[in-house]
Each structure stands twice: as structure tokens, then as C-alpha cells.
Amino acid sequence: AQSVTQPDIHITVSEGASLELRCNYSYGATPYLFWYVQSPGQGLQLLLKYFSGDTLVQGIKGFEAEFKRSQSSFNLRKPSVHWSDAAEYFCAVYREGGKLIFGQGTELSVKP
């Protein structure tokens, strides 16, 4: 069965530091992968997606993610974190019909 694992429940980084959020997936075929961000009290906003092609994908707000088939990973990165990036981040894999299977989420805190 398809699944998504985000090993880190909570991460704290200093403003200006680099960030990497981990995501591992379990899926038989080539997966379609997504990262969403959720600010407190808000819905989910799509940061970026991977369908095929270049394994390094660029998203909004300066985020990028790299698909690594050999590691079944799709980690999210940002070179320099801003205080406004504090939020919860969800990795998801697409299933047939458009359904998304989400990871448990990683809460990001940013220290001044």
C-alpha cells in the first residue's frame, strides 16, 4: 500500500539557516509527489510537485525538492529560512483518481 513518512515531527531552525525536511514514500510505480504548507488556521497551499522529468523541482517561496528514486525520498529544502516560513509542512503522494496520501506533517519553528 502506498504510504508517506515524514520522520521529523518538529524541527527548529534559526532564521537565515538552511532547511531540509525529509519525506520517504512507499509506492510501486513512479510516484507523483507533492509538498504542501499549512499556516495556522489555514488550508493547505501547494509548494511544489514532481510528476516526471528533472528530479530537482522548484517551487514557490524559494523552496525546492529533490526526487531520489534509489532512496524513495522527496526532501524539501530551502537555503535560507525566513520567520514567515514557520508552519506545518506535508508531503503527499498521488493515488489514482487524484487522491492524496499525506504524511503526518513536520512542524517548522523559526528562531530569530
How far is Cα 1 from Cα 11, in angstroms, rounded to an integer?
A: 28
Q: Does 49 bind another protein (CB under 8 A)?
A: yes
Give the residue with the Cβ less far from another protein, 3 or 84: 3
As to burial, measured by CB atoms within 10 angstroms (0-12 exposed, 13-18 middle, 19+ buried), residue 101 is: middle
What is the dihedral sign for C-alpha 49, 59, 90, 23?
Answer: positive
DSSP strand E in 39-86: where?
44-50, 56-58, 64-68, 73-78
Q: Does 105 bind another protein (CB under 8 A)?
A: yes
Q: What number of residues does the chain have?
A: 112
Q: Which of 3, 30, 42, 71 binds another protein (CB under 8 A)?
A: 42
Q: Which of 58, 104, 109, 111 binds another protein (CB under 8 A)?
A: 104
Q: Which residue has the cell 503527499?
A: 92
Give the residue with the Cβ less far from another protein, 99 or 111: 99
Residues that bind another protein (rule: CB under 8 A) add up to a total of 19
Instruction: Draw the binding track, 84-103, toward another protein (x: CB under 8 A; -: no contact).
Output: ------x------xxxxxxx
In eight-state DSSP terms, residue 69 is: G
Instruction: Draw the binding track, 18-37, toward another protein (x: CB under 8 A; -: no contact).
Output: ----------------x-x-
Binding site for another protein (CB under 8 A): 34, 36, 41-46, 49, 90, 97-105
